[in-house]
Structure 1
Amino acid sequence: MIYKFKSKAAGDVIMMEGSGDHVLRIIGKQPAVKGIVEPADMPAAIAAIEAAVAAEEEARRQAQADAAAEGKTPPPGDGVSLRQRAWPLVEMMKRAIAADEEIVWGV
């Protein structure tokens, strides 16, 4: 499944199922074919994404430090971080908050 997030305040944001499901769970939504994020819920959603990004980056730094301490090669990353995957949706949320518009998908 592909998520196509839409808002009158910004251009569409498209995510593949795995990334979309992950981000939706972070913001407290169940992955679903259709959904909505209201402007009132967006500041908390942005904060949740930022906290998840910080946790992921800290875990990566810790893994690198542990590997260096043991004289091993750090484990490979996923290639594309949560920060990179979620950034377009966070930007959409910021614009939607300013315009008092919701974000929908699957409609």
Structure 2
Amino acid sequence: MLITFKSKAYPDVMMYQDHAKRILDLLHKEPEIGVITSAEAGRAVELLEHEIEESRKHPPSDEVAQDIKAHRGEDDDDPDHEQAQLVSFSTRAYPMLEMLRAARDNRCDILWGV
């Protein structure tokens, strides 16, 4: 399921609920419906920046490689699919971080599920 985050300060940001949940959990927000007020945005930026830095310190787990190997086989020969690419947390979180910064700077709220 997709979540669309909306703010007057920034274009809409769409994320899969599974990916957004990590950010929303960090901010103590529910994925179904919610708001990050302009007053909360500054602290949210700090928390998300810290989480991104922490995620960069830890390489992806071996489970990712095992999943790819299980799907593609031992010889990694699958002409029907492109090579799998890992998308890091920092890459996924970047649009939301930019939205939070814009909301903080422009004193606007962020809404979803409405």
> Normalization by structure 1: what TM-score?
0.78
SS at match of 1:101: coil
AA aligned opposite 1:7: S
SS at match of 1:92: helix
AA aligned opposite 1:88: P
Pick aligned residue for 1:106 from 104, 108, 113? 113
1:82 is matched with: 89
1:57 is matched with: 56
AA aligned opposite 1:50: E
Say what the alpha-carbon RMSD is for the aligned residues.
Answer: 1.9
**Same amino acid, percent of matched pairs:** 30
Please list every run of 5 or more consecutive structure 2 residues that lacks an aligned counterpart in the other structure. 66-84
- Structure whose alpha-carbon radius of gyration is higher: 2
1:66 is matched with: none
SS at match of 2:58: helix
Please list every run of 5 or more consecutive structure 1 residues that lacks an aligned counterpart in the other structure. 64-73
Aligned residues: 94
Q: Per-residue CA shift, 1:31-83, capped at 9, x if unaligned?
A: 3x1100001111111111111111111122xx7xxxxxxxxxx8357811111
2:43 is matched with: 44
**Moved segments of 4+, more than 4 Å:** none
1:11 is matched with: 11
CA distance in 2, matches of 1:15, 1:30: 14
> Normalization by structure 2: what TM-score?
0.74
TM-superposed deviation, 1:85: 0.7
CA distance in 2, matches of 1:92, 1:57: 21
